[in-house]
Amino acid sequence: MILRSEKRIWKYIWILLIIMFMVTVSGIYFKENFERLDPEYYTKHFQMGSYYLKEGVFDLASREFEKAVKARTESVDVHYRLAIAYLRQGKLEEASQSFEKALEISPGHPDIRYFLGNTYQRMGKPELALREYRRLIEKGSDSYEVFNNMGMVYMKLGDRENALQAFEKAQERLARLKK
């Protein structure tokens, strides 16, 4: 039979354990959020992510860029580089989402739109890929890569006529580059 004093002791032990758990959890939360207030938090993680991206260590690059995104959600550069890191890992859904976020911030950025089109193409979403390539052309892109990729998408869709036109335009642009 447990005495009243023993019950009270166990009650205090449980309360103490709960308080210790809450302090530990809140300390971890505070540490993570306090770090983000540091003005160098973004820069540190952005630079590390850029280094890993350059070195081809894409999983570490994406982790660093994810931390940088938490510090600066409206940075085009970090969303773009995070998308590239995801793309290199084959994480196409995550890459497309990061490219889309970057385009929300900077809708006129041609590289982002180009890579988003390529990502859609790899995801098996040819209509979305064509939409991005067309937007690039509407904005004045004269890149043979865009026309070549359009040709490949049209071929995948079975539209031989548009594919041939796109490939011809790609060849014209490539010939101009060689001059």
- Answer whether 119's CB lies under 8 Å from 99's CB: yes
**Residue at 115 is within a domain:** yes
- Answer whether 129's CB lies under 8 Å from 153's CB: yes
Same domain, 55 and 116: no
Element (H, E) at 31: helix 4-37
Same domain, 132 and 168: yes
Helix residue ranges per DSSP H, 38-159:
39-55, 58-71, 76-89, 92-105, 110-123, 126-138, 144-157
pLDDT digits (tens, 9 = 90+) for 46-75: 999 999 999 999 999 999 999 999 888 889
Q: Which two tokens stand for residue 88?
A: 């290199």
The answer on pLDDT for 108 being more than 80 is yes
Report which residue type is found at 106: S
**CATH assignment of the domain containing 62:** 1.25.40.10
- Answer whether 127's CB lies under 8 Å from 107's CB: no
**What letter would DSSP give residue 135?**
H
Domain that holds residue 143: 107-179
The answer on pLDDT for 79 being more than 70 is yes
Same domain, 72 and 129: no
Rounded Cα gap, residues 22 and 61, in angstroms: 32
Reduce the DSSP state of residue 97 to 3 states and report it.
helix
Cβ atoms within 10 Å, residue 36? 14
Read off φ and ψ for residue 149, nearest 5 degrees.
Answer: -65, -40
Q: What average pLDDT score do residues 14-34 get?
A: 67
- What is the pTM for the complete model shown? 0.76
Question: Which pLDDT does position 38 carry in this prediction?
Answer: 62
Question: Which pLDDT does position 52 carry in this prediction?
Answer: 95
Same domain, 90 and 47: yes
Of 20, 23, 68, 16, nearest to 46 by C-alpha is 68
